[in-house]
């Protein structure tokens, strides 16, 4: 998604500010999607592991891993550049 940011060279010069504002609208939803998928995937893995190993703490670890993975991806895609 970050690639959306830097490729749009508009033929109209004064369009760039507007374009980046519009992309920021969309960035919010991309960030949301990363968080959700991180939590869902790793939380789901944790829940599955819990189910088969008869434990109850792995879902928490899974959710934490998912959260950090999502936040990490957001940082790399949107902030680092």
- Positions in the binding site for another protein (CB under 8 A): 1-4, 7-12, 15, 18-19, 22-23, 25-26, 29-30, 32-34, 36-38, 40-42, 65-66, 68-70, 72-73, 76-77
In the complex with another protein, which residue's Cβ is closer, 35 or 54?
35
Q: Which residues lie below 8 Å from residue 41, measured CB to CB, with a gap of 6+?
A: 66
Instruction: Choose between 57 and 75: whose C-beta lies nearer to another protein.
Output: 75
Contacts 24+ apart (CB under 8 A), 3-7: 5/81, 6/81
């Amino acid at each position: 998604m970050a690639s959306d940011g830097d490729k749009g060279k508009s033929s109209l010069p004064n369009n760039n500010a507007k374009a980046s504002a519009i992309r920021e609208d969309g960035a919010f939803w991309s960030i949301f999607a990363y968080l959700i998928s991180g939590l869902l995937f790793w939380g789901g893995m944790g829940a599955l592991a819990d189910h088969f190993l008869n434990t109850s703490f792995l879902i928490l670890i899974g959710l934490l891993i998912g959260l950090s993975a999502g936040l990490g991806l957001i940082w790399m895609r949107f902030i680092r550049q």
